[in-house]
A and B are shown apart, each in its own frame.
Chain A
């Protein structure tokens, strides 16, 4: 049982690390700010969710009242982040559109 829980936790942690690495690489490699938002806003959220689920499972290994409350708080973090991340992304896009930034497209670069 112990080994099973540990392997699930380690698997989720590595999935989270891959998503975080992808998010950071995306922020560094993408050509303009609209395309940078795609990896920044969502791969990071996905990585955070998988990390927090891993911590939840690891924390629930010794089941007590305190660890149950702590795991509930972690799920609350997931809930708030999944609600607030699209809103923050939308706020940044809106600011960019209103400031008049032109989106990068392929034709602009070729022509």
Chain B
């Protein structure tokens, strides 16, 4: 019961901030309309967004903020790599698409989703399937892109989610 109340309050605050950002006006009528719609949405889907709130979430959130700069640098480096492939005149010799399969030790749903999205955002690799057991099938565009997987990314994701 207590958890439901906390998740209701978190959803309410999140939706309220979103409403104020999207509206940007502070007239009483608009604020009242926003309050009514936020309450309706919270009652309908209050336990959807933060299904199991606990103190771990805040720690995980700050660890995730520490993970962001590394992944952004990786994304930019890999983007430049793909850009070079696309602009090179002999593109057909450079690309070598193939599918690789590997197993990670990640078990939580959230960490597997983060890992899959990180792989897809890093250019040169696309997640084809990801099982709950931590088994990934990845389509890579050439050999150097695939060599880095799973490697460092897995360790960092595991550290963020405490596995």
Contacts and interface: CB of A to CB of B under 8 A. Distances in A.
Interface stretch (B37-45, B80-88, B151-159): B80-88
A76 B21 contact: yes
Give the interface size bracket for B toward A: 20 to 34
Give the interface size bracket for A toward B: 35 or more
Contact of A89 (B82, B95, B96, B126): B126
Interface string A89-107: 1100110010000011110
Interface stretch (A3-11, A31-39, A55-63): A31-39
Interface of B: 21-22, 24, 75-76, 79, 82-83, 86-87, 91-92, 95-99, 116-117, 120-121, 123-124, 126-129, 139, 141
B97 A105 contact: yes
Given A35-B141, A42-B79, A42-B121, A25 B126 contact: no
A22 B82 contact: yes
23 contacts: A19-B83, A25-B86, A26-B82, A26-B86, A29-B86, A29-B91, A30-B91, A31-B95, A41-B120, A43-B79, A43-B86, A69-B24, A73-B21, A76-B22, A86-B121, A89-B120, A90-B116, A90-B126, A93-B128, A97-B129, A103-B97, A103-B139, A106-B97
